[in-house]
Amino acid sequence: MRQIDHFIAGGSDGTASRLGDVFDPNNGGVQAQVALAGQAVLDRAVAAAQAAQPEWAATNPQRRARVMFRFKELVEANMEELAHLLSSEHGKVIADARGDVQRGLDVIEFACGIPHVLKGEYTQSAGPGIDVYSMRQPIGIGAGITPFNFPAMIPMWMFGVAVAVGNAFIIKPSERDPSVPVRLAELFLEAGAPEGILQVVHGDKEMVDAILDHPAIGAVSFVGSSDIAHYVYNRGGAAGKRVQAMGGAKNHGVIMPDADLDQVVTDLVGAAFGSAGERCMALPVVVPVGDDTANRLREKLIPAIEALRVGISTDAEAHYGPVVTAAHKEKIEGWIAKCAEEGGELVIDGRGFTLQGHEDGFFVGPTLIDHVTPDMESYHNEIFGPVLQIVRAADFEEALTLPSKHQYGNGVAIFTRNGHAAREFAARVNVGMVGINVPIPVPVAYHTFGGWKRSAFGDTNQHGMEGVKFWTKIKTVTQRWPDGGVGAAANAFVIPTMG
């Protein structure tokens, strides 16, 4: 059986104190085993990073950017291999898998311009004969703890900027679909990066804790559930690290009475059910304003959802594939049952869905639940599956309040033709990323990604200039060059004033 090993110091490292199963979500079988390790393996990766990072940091930014350019070209050349590998372990259909890789490449493209964004600030004559300038320097070694749902995009979001600014980087991917990050590290080495600059270590909580506690790792980026994000933020911070920890989400889509419902339905079906709903920027809650809007929307949603094709991940006609594991399937179906128990109306029930010839696959049918209310536990929590809940609002103010008061604040969308309503909503809603007639408002790579409330812990977002700031330290230099010889510098060690 195939074994997925660590990638350390430019090569495969098969050290494993334990092995974990990697499933094929399409048939439920074990397709590979991944090495699970802890402190000893991490120590070797850190040692390799420490050996390589100083020279990499001293390499001029333009040369580092050339490596990023070559890496981008290699990923594009190997797109189909990466997409099929990703799809085989995650279960998302090939088209979604390609999108996963491409959205990661968007950040790599941003990182190709790193010489420009690393330019510091300069003030001439800040005082008599005194100039002041600042520079951004790498923190040294960074680490990324990445989730199962985007095994290509999120690692590239993290390491793309981190290595471009001069750091070494260690990825700890999800043990559910670990192969793609290893392949990306191999391609990065092929692009011309030194051994030890991008490495992959596998593991579970033991490895996570080792990363959070390791004194040589200066910064950690995490994406996952909110409870674990909070844990990572607290433990990493206690160890003196810079930490950004992105958590869960329950994104709302507010539908105003004047919205184009045909377009809304098209957007909702893709946003709620694409990738089987396993996206932190999925749109699992729709909030129609007024019962008339709700009834008209529901009438159009039902046939659109019933027309969705659920298939294996290589089915080119499928809208989405299986979820990642049997345990996750059981969790999703448990939330559907819970919502029905709480009083939600099961309009379309996706539980018990099977696919002929793939009866043991981890499939969940599309589910639509109406008359969900804010006091329901199933509304309060993240389901992370192909489930769309309808929460009816009486008016604009109630619709605005629902996402604003929810424990999560990752993304939100409003659908309307009214510019004033859209502007008011964007200004007042208590959520980090807002879409106006855009169902999944993921910012482009040269802006930044990050939510509010329990969707994110830490003060700095991912990628864009926020990412540059997170992975660098700023150093400010105040300099004076006095006239005359050595004797004229008698007062050189007096603290200068700016007067």
- CB proximity list for 220: less than 8 A, separation 6 or greater: 142, 143, 144, 145, 211, 212, 232, 236, 241, 242, 243, 244, 245
The residue among 249, 257, 273 whose CA lies nearest residue 392 is 257
Question: What mean pLDDT, rounded, does the chain reach?
Answer: 95
DSSP 431: -
Distances (CA, A) of 472 to 115, 120, 131, 145, 197: 14, 12, 23, 19, 16
CA 224 to chain centre: 8
pLDDT at 13 over 80: yes
**pLDDT score of 62:** 97
Which helix (H) or strand (E) segment holds residue 8: the answer is strand 6-8
pLDDT at 338 over 60: yes
- The residue-averaged pLDDT of 203-224 equals 97
Place of tokens 């070209």: 73
Q: Which residues pair with 411 in a beta bridge?
A: 433
User: What is the C-alpha to C-alpha distance for residues 111 and 68, in angstroms, rounded to an integer?
Assistant: 7
pTM reported for the whole predicted model: 0.93
Model confidence pLDDT, tens digit, residues 168-201: 999 999 999 999 999 999 999 999 999 999 999 9
**pLDDT score of 486:** 54
DSSP 50: H
Model confidence pLDDT, tens digit, residues 23-38: 999 999 999 999 999 9
**pLDDT score of 280:** 92
DSSP 275: G
**252-436: same fold as 2-247+455-476?**
no
Give residue 479's identity as a one-letter amino acid code: Q
Q: How confident is residue 492, by pLDDT bands cut at 50, 70 and 90? A: low
In 265-410 the beta strands, taken as DSSP E runs, fall at 285-288, 345-348, 367-370, 387-390, 408-409
The string over 112-145, giving b where at least 16 C-beta atoms fall within 10 Å of a residue's C-beta and e elsewhere, is bebeebbeeeeeeebeeebebeeebebbbbbbbb
The residue among 175, 156, 167, 170 whose CA lies nearest residue 74 is 156
**pLDDT score of 485:** 58
Domains of the chain by residue range? 2-247+455-476, 252-436
SS (H, E, C) 200-254: ECCCCHHHHHHHHHCCCCCEEEEECCHHHHHHHHHHHHHCCCEEEEECCCCCEEE
Model confidence pLDDT, tens digit, residues 143-152: 999 999 999 9
Q: How confident is residue 483, by pLDDT bands cut at 50, 70 and 90? A: confident
pLDDT at 491 over 60: no
**pLDDT score of 14:** 85
User: What is the C-alpha to C-alpha distance for residues 170 and 176, in angstroms, rounded to an integer?
Assistant: 18
Surface-to-core class of residue 462, CB atoms within 10 Å of its CB (0-12 exposed, 13-18 middle, 19+ buried): buried
User: What is the C-alpha to C-alpha distance for residues 494 and 492, in angstroms, rounded to an integer?
Assistant: 6
**pLDDT score of 190:** 98
Active-site position among 229, 280, 294, 399: 280
In the residue annotation, 112 being an active-site residue is answered as no
For residue 194, the tally of other CB atoms under 10 A from its CB is 18
CATH topology of domain 2-247+455-476: Aldehyde Dehydrogenase; Chain A, domain 1 (3.40.605)
Model confidence pLDDT, tens digit, residues 383-435: 999 999 999 999 999 999 999 999 999 999 999 999 999 999 999 999 999 99
- The residue-averaged pLDDT of 451-476 equals 95
Helix axis angle, 61-77 relative to 94-111, nearest 10°?
170
With respect to CATH, is domain 252-436 assigned 1.10.1200.10?
no
- What percentage of the chain carries pLDDT values higher than 90? 93
pLDDT at 490 over 60: no
The residue among 393, 382, 295 whose CA lies nearest residue 347 is 295
- The residue-averaged pLDDT of 120-139 equals 94
**Two structure tokens written together for 35:** 């090495």
User: What is the C-alpha to C-alpha distance for residues 255 and 257, in angstroms, rounded to an integer?
Assistant: 7
